[in-house]
Chain A
Amino acid sequence: MSSLNKNTLLKSILFYFPILFLFLSVFNEIDFNYLNIEYFSFNFVHILIFYWTLKNPRYLSYGSIFLAGIVNDVVVGIPIGFSSFCYLLICAVTAYLRNITITPNLINDWISFLATILLVNSIQVISLDIIFSIEVNYMRYLINSGFTFILYPVFLFLFNILERKIAIQIND
């Protein structure tokens, strides 16, 4: 009975949290570079897209991921459409994993995530370097992928809490 009185605005805000996070992070490039820790950087967007599209794609629509990629390209300064392509590749992998997985578990997801970010970052680095002649630091990409992989369980834990809250609000 009490749940009927719950604010509908809060429900919709919670539901749109993943999209909000996605756009905030592409506009803002959340990577904690300002802390100036040598070599430390990670790709929050990759974690976000992988987790939410794997969990349930209704939280993050493919259209919004495409748009977020365009925004990221403009902000970072790489050819437009490039990040969209990479983000959608992650979605393709998660859609495939969702179809073949009956009982999801952390280790499988984590290993799949590593394979996915290595694939996406390899495509990104090779295309930027060879096709667009933009010089990139391969080692930095590798380190970035490493930290993104290591930090995945941390965000998985946080997103699980959020997902449970969203699920409760929707079911109410």
Chain B
Amino acid sequence: MKLSGARLLIEELIHQGVDTVFGYPGGAVLQIYDELYKCKDRIHHVLTAHEQGAAHAADGYARASGKVGVVIATSGPGATNLVTGIANAYLDSVPMVAITGNVATEALGRDSFQEVDIVSITQPVVKHNFMVKDVTELEQTIKEAFQIANSGRKGPVLIDIPKDVQISECEYGVAVLPKMPDKPKLPYDQEGVIALLSQAKKPLIYAGGGITAAKAEKELIALAEKLNIPVTVSIMGRTAFPDSHPLSLGLVGMHGSYVAAKTQSECDVLLALGVRFSDRATGNIARYTQNCKVIHVDIDKAEIGKNISPDYSVQGDVKKWIKEILPKLKEQKHPKWWEEIHGFEKTKSKVEGDFHPKHILETLRKYTEDDTVVATDVGQHQMWTAQYYRFEKGRTFLSSGGLGTMGYGLGAAIGACFGRKKAHTVLITSEGSFGMNCNELCTAVHENLPITIILMNNRVLGMVRQWQTAFFGKRYSETVLDRSTDFVKLMEAYGGKGFNAKNCKELEDALKEREHYNGPILINCSINPDEKVLPMIPPGKSVDDIIL
């Protein structure tokens, strides 16, 4: 069957199981959009307000569904607008395929209208990228792109397709997917790992995004229960372990709980599963492992030894590893260790005031299900959500962990909503982050998505201001955002419903409106600008320096 490059692309996307793509048309992707038009009953295209929003939507779709997210943009500015979204997916290891059009091959390199070298621009922030100069290579390239994005440590892949390649025809259904190249692996001392785990008196599991990526949530519960080990999680692994589980100690790191930090500093064996020991998670790296031996399990060889040197390492898929080692381990009990941990639990940060973010999140939780996806933007509200919202199921917390992208949330919530068959989705944001990409409200309204937006409005750039309070003598340089934007009116202008809430009662009244309305709603919650994210371990410090 002979097809044009553009049609071949759509057919192969459908073949790869893609039901939804996010994007924005333009001069260099006209052929592709013409084929999308013809195939609209087989593949749904979501038009966003901006290519960045489309990239975040593809990312949110991937995180919420566990499938590969796809975004399409035109050449030049369309392509460069994707860069933040691609970098965001790269830092958080999210499988994504980005497709860009480019000027015709004969016009390449001449600074043609809307021409940029997007392959070079994105190179440091993709797993791999391709420029397809011959239509006969297109089918295999798309197959390879999906395989690369979704295998090993997942991540984004970009395919740049010049205009003439989209028009040229070739035979479809002939390409064979090449085998992923074999790369050398690290040696694995299974007996040593079993011996260390069996001798441990004060073991601790530290779980990260690798658990989510490997879909190993059930296996993690089985492992923790058999060995009676407490479990802490990183931001990327926030939903790796259910909060209500008795072995759960919750978030660890700069804004993790005291009990998590103290348990970490007192443990004798740290079993790190699918983590990369980010500086935000470890604090002072020298003191981080001074009392314990470390077993590091990760799929990416380059992560082992990058930030800390483990005593034992396992390079591979964490789900496979747990399944393999679990029958070889004997059941354990650690009553003394747990007694010590329950002692640590008594030290907590104080929560004062009636409309503290904790109260907002607990009120919200009464109106959400365990499998409701919650996306966040970046800043104080993001950390409060990670601290106070009760997460029970995998892939329900979508947040920009590595890149820390303000403006990620709304696009991600839109994508997640499609990834979960338009189920109720929540966005927790604040006026700083929301201001960056609130243009995507038009997408949520147009698609009639049941997204509940909780806007924690403190009229300041809270997280930066918190650092200015702590480390810069309260010199609030450019962090006061009192710009009198009326977010309720803004929401209404876009065609959604907006509410103001100054207390939990008003918040509940607004949340109840969700029952009567299926489109997006925004609840503007006024909170105290001096509210801080606590506890906090200052950068480069340890639990001994914790600010409660």
A and B are partners in one complex rather than unrelated chains? no
A: residues with CB less than 8 A from B are none
